[in-house]
């Protein structure tokens, strides 16, 4: 009797324990279901599609050049006596750059000047036979000049003055000395040239575009330039020359004048050239608003906290913006962040 009573109590206890475990499991499952069933919105940012001027961009590689540059060559042969300049020095127009040993030229000029004085004396002797020289014909005077040697002596003086002047090299315009190669006390025959003078106030950039991109690079088109070594340095300019001939590589040579430059942008520097052509009245969104779905361009537009997937036709684009030719209208709130993983009619909330 006691044994049956004990077994009955054990059975009742086991049933109560099983009931409690089942209730706990059902409660946990219910709580888990509630947590999973409550949707969480995706946080996004939007910007309205707007009609404004779009700048079509073309990126090229170019080289900065001096608008004015002169190679100073030796026009006379001899030994260099003086070079009063250094590389990087700023010089003014007419400033002395170099002087050759010119003692020989000076002596030759002195001889020519002495000969000129003798010719003038001889000319006076020839004129003594005429009582009134003021009425002499031009032919008689010219004959007297030739007989006296005056014409030849005057020409000889000019020639030797010219030769002496060739021993002095002057700056043809104001600028900076670069590529100074010659050394003092050395013969000029050892060097191709003395130096170069560049005017850094008038810089330009030369670059090439593909023939298919030629319509982007027309005269007057605005552009921006920045060095490879320092993209933070910016200079502005405009295209001034288009060499309308395609080379063997399919490129067209373009030259642009830099209208606003920086002191650290110098001739010979390799730069990136950003050509910008204005296209007014274009429907524009940031490029971050474009996504790809099913191999097509789409834009997610926010309507009443839902992201609507809309197919679009994309026109020109640059590094920041894209033109939408079909699929959007002005004012549509294009989602530009958080659109990488959402789907059609996803619940979204705009970040404040």
86-99 pLDDT tens trace: 999 999 999 999 99
DSSP 75: S
The C-alpha atoms of residue 45 and residue 53 are separated, in whole angstroms, by 23
The CATH-assigned architecture of domain 43-57+281-350 is Beta Barrel (2.40)
Domain 74-101+167-193 has CATH 2.40.50.100: yes
Of the candidates 168, 150, 177, 154, the one whose C-alpha atom is nearest the C-alpha of residue 71 is 177
For 81-90, 96-105, 258-267, which range has the lowest pLDDT when averaged over its residues? 258-267
Of the candidates 45, 49, 37, 47, the one whose C-alpha atom is nearest the C-alpha of residue 349 is 45
- Asked if residue 246 has pLDDT above 60, the reply is yes
CATH for 59-66+202-278 is 2.40.30.170
Higher pLDDT, 132 or 72: 72
Q: Where are the domains of the chain?
A: 43-57+281-350, 59-66+202-278, 74-101+167-193, 102-164
- Asked if residue 175 has pLDDT above 60, the reply is yes
Q: Tell me the mean pLDDT in the region 175-190.
A: 95
């Amino acid at each position: 009797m006691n044994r049956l009573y004990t077994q009955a109590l054990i059975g009742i206890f086991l049933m109560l324990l099983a009931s409690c475990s089942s209730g706990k499991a059902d409660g946990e499952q219910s709580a888990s279901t509630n947590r999973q069933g409550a949707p969480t919105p995706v946080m996004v940012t939007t910007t309205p599609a707007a009609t404004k001027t779009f700048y079509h961009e073309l990126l090229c590689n170019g080289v900065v050049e001096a608008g004015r540059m002169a190679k100073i060559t030796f026009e006379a042969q001899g030994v260099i006596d003086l070079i009063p300049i250094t590389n990087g020095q700023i010089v003014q127009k007419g400033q002395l750059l170099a002087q050759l040993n010119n003692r020989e030229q000076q002596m030759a000029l002195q001889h020519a000047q002495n000969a000129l004085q003798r010719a003038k004396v001889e000319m006076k002797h020839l004129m003594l036979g005429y009582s009134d020289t003021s009425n002499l014909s031009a032919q008689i005077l010219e004959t007297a000049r030739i007989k006296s040697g005056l014409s030849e002596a005057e020409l000889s003086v000019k020639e030797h003055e010219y030769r002496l002047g060739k021993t002095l090299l002057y700056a043809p315009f104001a600028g900076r000395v670069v590529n100074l190669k010659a050394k003092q006390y050395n013969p000029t025959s050892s060097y191709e040239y003395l130096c170069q003078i560049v005017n850094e106030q008038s810089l330009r950039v030369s670059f090439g575009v593909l023939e298919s991109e030629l319509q982007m690079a027309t005269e007057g088109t605005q552009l921006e330039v920045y060095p490879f070594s320092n993209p933070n340095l910016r200079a502005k300019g405009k295209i001034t020359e288009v060499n309308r001939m395609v080379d063997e590589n399919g490129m067209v040579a373009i030259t642009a004048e830099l209208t606003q430059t920086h002191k650290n942008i110098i001739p010979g520097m390799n730069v990136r050239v950003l050509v910008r052509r204005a296209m007014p009245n274009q429907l524009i969104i940031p490029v971050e608003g474009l996504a790809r779905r099913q191999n097509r361009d789409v834009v997610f537009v926010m309507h009443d906290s839902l992201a609507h997937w809309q197919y679009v036709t994309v026109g020109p684009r640059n590094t920041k913006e894209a033109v939408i030719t079909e699929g959007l209208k002005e004012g549509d709130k294009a989602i530009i962040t958080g659109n990488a993983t959402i789907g059609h009619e996803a619940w979204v909330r705009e970040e404040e």
